[in-house]
Amino acid sequence: MSYFQRKFPNTRMRRTRMKSFSRRLVAESFLSINDLIWPIFIIEGNNKRDEIKLMPEVFRYSIDSLLKELEPLVKLGLNSVALFPTISSDLKDIEGSNAYDQDNLVCRAIRSIKIEYPSLGVICDVALDPYTNHGHDGIVIDGVVDNDVTLNKLIMQALVQSEAGCDILAPSDMMDGRVGAIRKSLDKNNHTEMMIMSYAAKYASSFYGPFRDALSTKKLTKPKNKKTYQMDYPNADEAMHEIEIDIAEGADMILIKPGMPYLDIISKAKDNFKMPTFAYQVSGEYSMIMAASHHHYIKKEDAIMETVLSFKRAGADGIFTYFAPSLLERLSLSSF
């Protein structure tokens, strides 16, 4: 009798890994079409589909082009989209006033999408940075982003988006008290059923660069960064405190941004609060995968699936990802 016959344990972990059917049979985390939220960049004009230099295969769409782009994806089961506007410089000002114009690009896009695809969920960012000439998420006074003055503008922005037909408001600005202020205003104006998905833990991350390029918000005036309102990346307990506050103020869902560098935050949030929890696979994460695959360092399709399943494994109920269109096509052919 050999050594292994005498000493080897009864449990062989490789048994269930030997065949593809058994690997699927014992899989602990799954991705479905309902988990995917497609972030979309929109622009003014007609018949526009402009590729974003730092995000290969991601485009800015005019509203008419977007409606055409959505048709096959909705047929594949696309469940929801998140809208992010690229605003021309002549519409930007110190207060981001175009954000609360009821006929702005986002509001027109919402109305158009709801006419063509009434069942498609539309999520809208609540923040001023696409609309301000200084690039910050709030009102800057004497070189400081003023929290309380900003809240009034965010309330106005949230109301015009609600009235346009948005399904979920997603405040990403990280001002203190903004969820409570928006919720109070929604209730007062008969929008009691409007959902709020709070960017409850949004970190001051280096992974946002391509996104800011896509929105033309790269150049910040004083303050030169967003560290006075977005979270400091060494902190996890602070994230739990932020999430707890937002839930108490009326958030229906919470979002962690970025995704992969903050899997621990997603996991802690889900364990602690048992709330609908979402991850945002941000532009820098997308562009890194695309760049590495372009140079044949990694296999793109496998890397995409591995990363999105890591969010599910950590506890995310859904994922904002620029890979949503390709994932929908892949999921329509097989399940994971």
| Model confidence at 335: pLDDT above 90 | no
Structure tokens at 25: 């049979």
Place of tokens 């800057």: 140
pLDDT value at residue 336: 47
Query: pLDDT grade, residue 221 (50/70/90)?
Result: confident
Residue 5 binned pLDDT confidence (cut-offs 50, 70, 90)? low
Q: How far apart are CA 121 and CA 39, in angstroms?
A: 12
Q: Give the C-alpha separation, 54 to 51, whole Å.
A: 9
- The CATH label, of 3.50.50.60, 3.40.630.10, 3.20.20.140, 3.20.20.70, for the domain at 30-333 is 3.20.20.70
Model pLDDT, residue 6: 62
Catalytic residues: 202, 257
pLDDT, one tens digit per residue, over 25-54 is 888 888 999 999 999 999 999 999 999 999
Question: What average pLDDT does the structure give for the chain?
Answer: 94
* Domain range summary for the chain, segments of one domain joined by +: 30-333
Helix (H) or strand (E) holding 64: helix 63-76
Task: Provide the percentage of residues in the chain whose pLDDT is more than 90.
Answer: 85
Angle at which helices 300-314 and 324-333 cross, to 10°: 90
Q: Is the pLDDT of residue 319 over 80?
A: yes
Sort strands 139-141 and 36-43 into parallel, antiparallel or unpaired.
unpaired
C-alpha neighbours within 13 Å on the C-beta side of residue 252: 12
